[in-house]
Amino acid sequence: MNKQRFRRIGFSAVLILALLSCFVAACIPGGAENSWRRVFAFFGLNDFSSCADAAPFSVHVLDVGKADSILVESRGNYMLVDGGTADRGDDVVAYLKRRRVKTLDFVVNTHPDEDHIGGLKQVLQSFPVKRYFAPEIPQKLIPGSEEYRDVQAVLKGKKLNTEHPRAGSSYSLGRAQIQVLGPVSPGDSTNNNSIVLKLTFGTTRFLLMGDAEKAEEDTLTASGRDLSADVLKVGHHGSDTSTTQAFLKAVRPRYAAVSVGSDTSKLPKPVVLNRLYDLGISSFRTDVDGTLIFLSDGRSVSVKTEK
């Protein structure tokens, strides 16, 4: 049998498998949006995110390129922190549907840069949202981007108020606690007005930094609040404007997650990776490892990577 015939047979097999997948999805009660997990199971495969099904608490750092989108799950309660860029919004929505999200208890836009707010338009259009958080930033820093305007239009259409949580405020997500640590005071850039969240489940802790840079890190350290965490979502995609050695010593994480993709900035910067390495912090990157899922039973944390 020649190579050309092998290729034809291979292509036909892939085509048949794809068509069969669509057929199975269409036949499952509840429609296609809830069926992909079952399709994977039908063919003896596993959806990677199913590793979180049995965990009482999980933090999913989605692979959305050089952008941020983080899903937090706590026994049927959900929070989404940022939505990536506009062109990845549909991917974020698809991931949430695979995780069987019906309603989002919280949507948090850490700051209005395009790579954090862009995909929230699709998210807000696709799910009921109980509360929407964004930082209160100086008027001169409010962007005029299409992404920002689109999200404001969806919020207005859904009559969903934007809340500006203050440093020191706290909220519940199922059995988990959400503490707002920053911004402590108005910053000089959108990055340094990032909402910084500390999540606590049992004795395990997760610190989500948005794009906070050194100036905001310094105000957090000076605030006297407990910054220690088991997992640090590294600020600003591993830029050398963030994640100073002094800040890392205050946090003392076991794990670090860098949400990053290939672009001209060439992030994460080697100096940041070296700081993490020198302090014995295990680092994971979405550009190398794919989506990262941190699992907690309330006593310990483990990590699963897509790749």
All structural domains of the chain with their residue ranges: 1-46, 52-305
CA gap 153, 149 in Å, rounded: 6
Residue 292 forms beta bridges with which residues? 61, 305
**Would you say 56 and 279 are in contact if contact means Cβ atoms under 8 Å apart?**
no
**DSSP class of residue 7?**
H
Domain boundaries 52-305, CATH class: alpha beta
pTM recorded for the entire structure? 0.87
CA gap 103, 306 in Å, rounded: 25
Cβ neighbors of 165 (< 8 A, separation 6 or more) are 133, 171, 180, 195
Give the type of residue at 160: L
From residue 66, alpha-carbon distances to 85, 137, 147, 268 in Å are 9, 23, 16, 10
Residue 38 CB burial class (10 angstroms; 0-12, 13-18, ≥19): middle
- Cα angle vertex 177, ends 60, 247, to 5°? 70
Phi, psi of 124 (to 5 degrees): -65, -30
- pLDDT per residue rounded down to tens, the chain (307 residues): 454 554 555 545 544 554 555 454 445 444 444 455 555 545 445 689 999 999 999 999 999 999 999 999 999 999 999 999 999 999 999 999 999 999 999 999 999 999 999 999 999 999 999 999 999 999 999 999 999 999 999 999 999 999 999 999 999 999 999 999 999 999 999 999 999 999 999 999 999 999 999 999 999 999 999 999 999 999 999 999 999 999 999 999 999 999 999 888 889 999 999 999 999 999 999 999 999 999 999 999 999 999 9
CA gap 234, 211 in Å, rounded: 8
Both tokens of 210, joined, read 């948005």
Give me the pLDDT at residue 47, please.
86
